[in-house]
A and B are shown apart, each in its own frame.
Chain A
Amino acid sequence: MSSDTAVEVVDLKKNYGPVTALENVNVSIKSGEYFVLLGPSGGGKTTLLRSIGGFIRPTKGRVLLHGEDVTDLPPDKRSTSMVFQSYALFPHMTVIENVGYGLKLAKVPKAEIERKSHDMLEMVGLTGYDRRKPHELSGGQQQRVQLARALVLERDILLLDEPLAALDAQLRKDMCVELKHLQQQVGITFIHVTHNQEEAMTVADRIALIADGNLVEYGPAREVYETPKRRFTASFVGENNLFDGRVVTSDSDTLEVNSPAGQIFVPHKGATVAAGQNVSVSVRSEVMSLERPSVKPSSPSAPAVSGTYRECLYLGLVNSHRIILEDEREVVVRTLAGPDGTVPFAPGDPVRVTWPFDAGRLHTQ
């Protein structure tokens, strides 16, 4: 076992009676990386995190921390510490008592507890809040105290279970950046669970997508966003338009797919497909563009589908255009909002949606 693997999860399975929460998950997390478990609620990401922390005993499979099998150890015997969603501070203790609690359990001398807790509070930007009780702090401050309480133990893996879910949008953005900086500063492994993809993209070195108890795919954050391998990833990460269809012909670099919306061409990229096979094509909404059908296509080889313009939603930075295709499905195209706020299309106008050939991604599963 190489020493730079912090967490190794092998064939992990968890059942609650007849319900399967996790199904044969294998993942390995490198030492010192910021790893995010992303996925819809109830998909099993928290179950995975809690199995790593020792709060859940897996039905089957092993959990290894730095090569050591800890599957049968309770949380207090593991080299992990944890930050919970919210309300996990001890309400009857002051901030400094909360932070020092773990050190007190470890029988660290009093003066040292005081010093370390204090330094840690300074690090999370809470100098001067020592004698407060948790209910006197804001939500963001409470989460900082939780961070301090977990980090002061100097364990080498920090687990974060939806740590920002209870905060409002702006605060969440700020805290994301802080978390990322904090992780770079202390240099330990962070494993962070969230259902918010913006949060995931902000902090993550690598992202694992988990849904329906399965690990769908994992890899560097950029890869997951730009070149998702699975159809599900494309539907969950970013705003993608999906076309399901059947392979008509394939040659070495172009694949023709027959979808209800029309013929679509995608790059082949070495996928093993046969004619007649069911596949999906995904295209990010921000790389698509809109044209009037009367205009000549800018590049004749560019894939295109036609539909009817429905409406435009102004979202500040971008306009989100909704187009209804011939098969009644909807396509969303995002463009930067122009300075004068005018939209060149009116509801009911026939339009053509097109995108660069290379932006199409093929998913066989």
Chain B
Amino acid sequence: MSEYGSIWGYRAQWAYLLLIVATLMSPVFYVIYISFNENGFGAAEYVFTLEWYGLIFSDRLMMNALGWTLMLAFATLAVTVPMATIAAKFYKATRHKVFTIFVLLSPLFVAPDILGSALLVFFKNTNNMFEAFSDYLGTEFFYGWFQLGFMTAWIGLIIYTMPYAFIVILITIGRYNEQQTEAARACGASGWRAFWDVEFPQIRAGIFSACAFTVILSFNEYTRTSLLKGGFDTFTTVLISQMLNEGMSEQSYAMSSLVSFVAIATIGTIIIFTMIRSEQLQRKAQPKAEPADAPETNAEPQKAAA
């Protein structure tokens, strides 16, 4: 921070930053506001109600979709985060950095509808090939492996979430000092043991952020899921198709709000959690950092030794 800069300039910049965040959030807040109005959007009178939320939870289709969404989100999490971790470690070690980073990050630069369409055709063709192969072998073993359904949507989501998880984990792993793994190896730890005992506790924050990212991204994802899902429905696909067909209903305001709540609550928790943690660490570090004359803790183990 500049010591001589104007304090008002600094405050104005902060105000601008917060204004942008508020603007980006304003549609969401506005919809949340409407979702509690019994009379819905555009009504002259505002009456608070939770009725619209009640409707969602009594809707079988909705609850079913919610179940699929959560299953898909956690299945994606279970694959994306371990793979992104392995990929980040691979990136650190490999000499083919540009190629690796291209393969892992370029999904960011492919538009959702394009990736969805390409995968849709890819899976249809692969499925046809597998079935033809199966017919040739005279079995039905390879039937429907790549039929549009849970698995294809799952793969689509893994590809979509991979770059985000990869970046987050790579940044934390980048701060980790590889010598500590070597030190653990020198102490007699196997490769896995060194990872679990020494590296993982230090990159945990990054791994957890990547988990949160992956769950929220796949929970919110619409385009790729809707193209690849085949028969079942997720929360967003139900919501968007309702919106597209019938326009915004009061119930859809409530549903959008609900999704927003989940996301905001998750991120809010992370922010608060990291704030508390870092403050705790600072407080812990400060009093102990002064040079110490031997504290009292050594008396007891020495007795044990004697």
Contacts and interface: CB of A to CB of B under 8 A. Distances in A.
Given a CB threshold of 8 Å, the question of whether A touches B is answered with yes
Given A115-B305, A136-B289, A76 B294 contact: no
Nearest to B285: A135
A268 B266 CA distance: 82
Contact of B180 (A88, A115, A119): A88
Contact of A114 (B188, B291, B301): B301
A105 interface: yes
A241 B46 CA distance: 94
A131 B202 contact: no
Interface size class of A (residues with CB under 8 A): 35 or more
Nearest to B293: A128
A91 to B, nearest CB: 7
Contact of B188 (A105, A128, A138): A105
Given A74-B185, A88-B183, A128 B297 contact: yes
B189 A105 contact: yes
Nearest to B193: A105
Contacts of A130: 297-298, 301
Interface in B254-302: 285, 288-289, 291-295, 297-298, 301-302
B298 A84 contact: no
B188 A106 contact: yes
A102 interface: yes
B285 A88 contact: no
A29 interface: no
Contacts of A53: 186
A341 interface: no
B295 A128 contact: yes
Given A74-B191, A88-B177, A130-B297, A55 B285 contact: no
Nearest to A159: B186
B27 interface: no
Given A90-B198, A114-B304, A55 B185 contact: yes
Contacts of B291: 138
Interface residues of B, number: 33
A150 B182 CA distance: 12
A90 B184 contact: yes
A132 B298 CA distance: 11
B1 interface: no
Contacts of A119: 305
B49 interface: no
A335 interface: no
Contacts of B186: 53, 75-76, 80-82, 102, 150, 159
A84 B305 CA distance: 29
B190 interface: yes
Interface in A182-206: none
B263 to A, nearest CB: 30
Interface string B152-195: 00000000000000000000000001011011111111110100
Contacts of B180: 87-91
Contact of A88 (B182, B288, B293): B182
Instruction: Say what secondary structure dominates the interface of chain B.
Output: helix
Nearest to A119: B305
Contacts of A114: 301, 304-305
Given A84-B182, A91-B202, A131 B295 contact: yes
A92 B202 contact: yes
Interface string B49-87: 000000000000000000000000000000000000000
Given A102-B188, A132-B288, A82 B304 contact: no
B95 interface: yes
B187 A149 contact: yes
B113 interface: no
A118 B188 CA distance: 19
A115 B304 contact: yes
B5 interface: no
A85 interface: yes
Contacts of A80: 186
A127 interface: yes
A12 interface: no
A317 interface: no
A193 to B, nearest CB: 14
Contacts of B9: none
B197 interface: yes
Contacts of B184: 90, 101
A128 B186 CA distance: 25
A55 B93 CA distance: 13
Interface string A138-169: 10000000100110010000010000000000
Given A105-B187, A118-B301, A118-B302, 6 more contacts: A53-B186, A76-B186, A80-B186, A128-B292, A149-B187, A153-B188
21 contacts: A55-B182, A76-B187, A88-B177, A88-B179, A88-B183, A101-B197, A102-B186, A102-B188, A105-B188, A105-B189, A111-B304, A114-B304, A114-B305, A118-B302, A128-B293, A128-B295, A128-B298, A131-B295, A149-B183, A149-B187, A159-B186
Q: Which 10 residue pairs spanning A and B have beta carbons closest together?
A: A128-B294, A102-B187, A82-B186, A75-B185, A88-B179, A115-B305, A88-B183, A128-B298, A105-B188, A76-B188
